[in-house]
Amino acid sequence: MAESSAVPEQLFKPLTSNELLIEAIRKITSEPRESVIQRLLAEHRAIGFNVRQDAREAGLVPYVWSDALTEFYRTTKSFVYETAVWNRSPLKCDMRAWIGKFLRDRSRTAGTRALTYGDGLGFDSTYLARLGCDVTYFEPSEECSRFAADVFRANGAEVRHIADPALLEPDSYDVIVCLDVLEHVPAPPETVRQFSQWLKTDGYLITHSPFFYVEPYHPTHLKSNMKYSGCDRMFRDNGLQLVDGKFFWDPIALQKCHGIPQQRSLTAVRIGRQLLRLGRWHPNIHSLIARLMSRGEKCWIRDLESLL
């Protein structure tokens, strides 16, 4: 059995075992076991492999918002593989650990009303629920939400699911977590405006959005959004002030407040902002670094190879 070096509290069933994950994916996709193993193996070797392959087969024009892209999101099974493997990666586990520390340091755990926006397979929602947060999981995909429901049950997480954003009420949430979503949407500032409306005063938005990451393995990242790489204006314009974050904005935290919020030293975050801005015009090196940083652990590959 594969043994991961990731912090145990960041990995949840079925990510903890290839066998569990294979069966969970088979339940949702109805694909043959061998096909699931092969697709998982390909994804572990190159994250984004299945999305790229399915997008090519669908004749999708990459990096552009279109009706065809909307249909692709509705019908493809490739994101189940990409999201599962990404949530196993040390980088994503580090993001969850950072979020947990941020919330604990601000006493925003037990009873905190948290919204996870576009959480896909539900692993971030599970983590927040296990921290003690009162979690609402927003995810329009029926396939992902079915998978997430099994994740919640398997990990004893109580999470509320909402599929229609019209049901999200203003001034309702202490924390909104939105990871790896904004680079996909046609109008990120409009989505941020909605976040600000849904947040309570003094609430936090925690987000990660690699806008520069426009390359063949991510054909659904929009080229029109590259201009937002390293941009905090769309947050400031909606009353959200930067208060914390990691160097490469993976993630950053912003607070809905009037005046100057309490914040730690933001020197590293501001240097990172300048580097991310360069990604608007020279994305190749940024994308290469992002690909290297997001690599998974070889133990999963070896174990999957042994199952074929």
**Closest Cα to residue 226, out of 179, 269, 273, 277?**
277
Which pLDDT band, with edges at 50, 70 and 90, does 258 fall under? confident
Q: Assess if residue 17 is contained within a domain.
A: yes
> Are 198 and 51 part of one and the same domain?
no
Helices (H), the chain: 18-29, 33-45, 49-57, 67-75, 78-88, 90-105, 123-131, 142-154, 188-198, 233-236, 267-278, 283-293, 298-307
Tell me the average pLDDT across 210-224: 97
Q: Does the pLDDT value for residue 67 go beyond 80? A: yes
Is residue 92's pLDDT more than 80?
yes
pLDDT at 301 over 70: yes
Residues 164-183: tens digit of each pLDDT: 999 999 999 999 999 999 99
- Span 271-288, pLDDT tens digits: 999 999 999 999 999 999
Any domain includes 167: yes
252 and 134 in one domain? yes
Measured CA to CA in angstroms, residue 286 lies from 124, 193, 262, 295 at distances of 25, 27, 31, 15
At 17-40, the pLDDT tens digits run 999 999 999 999 999 999 999 999
pLDDT at position 5 is: 46
For residues 39 and 147, membership in a common domain is answered with no
Which range among 6-10, 46-50, 129-133, 141-145 shows the weakest confidence by mean pLDDT? 6-10
pLDDT over threshold 60, residue 234: yes
Percent share of the chain, pLDDT over 70: 97
Say yes or no: 159 and 277 in one domain. yes
Under the banding of pLDDT at 50, 70 and 90, the label for residue 6 is very low
If asked whether residues 158 and 264 sit together in one domain, one would say yes
Number of domains making up the chain: 2
**How far apart (Å, rounded) are the C-alpha atoms in residues 229 and 209?**
8
Could you give the count of Cα atoms lying within 13 Å of 154 in the half-sphere of its Cβ? 19
SS3 call for 226: helix
Phi-psi group of 111: left, alpha or beta (phi > 0 → left; psi -120 to 50 → alpha; rest → beta): left
CATH at residue 133: 3.40.50.150
Task: Report whether 55 contacts 219 (CB < 8 A).
Answer: yes
Residues 140 and 279 occupy one common structural domain: yes
Please choose, from the candidates 239, 234, 188, the residue with its C-alpha nearest in 3D space to the C-alpha of residue 211. Answer: 188
Q: How far apart are CA 245 and CA 295, in angstroms?
A: 21
CA Rg value for the chain = 19
Helices (H), 199-247: 233-236
Structural domain harbouring 82: 8-88+298-303
Q: What is the pLDDT of residue 261?
A: 78
pLDDT of residue 214: 97
pLDDT for the residue numbered 8:
44
User: Considering the domain boundaries, does residue 2 fall inside one?
Assistant: no
**pTM for the whole thing?**
0.95
Claim to verify: residue 57 and residue 107 sit in the same structural domain: no
Domain presence at residue 1: no
CA distance 120 to 126: 12
Tell me whether residue 264 is in a domain: yes
Mean pLDDT of 86-100: 96
Are residues 126 and 145 located together in one domain of the fold? yes
Q: Is the pLDDT of residue 306 over 60?
A: yes
Q: Please check whether residues 180 and 287 belong to one and the same domain.
A: yes
Instruction: Check whether residue 124 and residue 230 sit in a common domain.
Output: yes
Q: 308 in a domain, yes or no?
A: no
Q: pLDDT value at position 148?
A: 97
Mean pLDDT (the chain, rounded): 94
If asked whether residues 61 and 153 sit together in one domain, one would say: no
Q: Pseudo-torsion of CA 134, 136, 142, 144, nearest 10°?
A: -60
Residue identified by tokens 């769309």 is 234
Q: Are residues 24 and 119 in the same domain?
A: no
Residue 241 pairs in a beta bridge with 255
Q: What is the average pLDDT across 213-226? A: 97
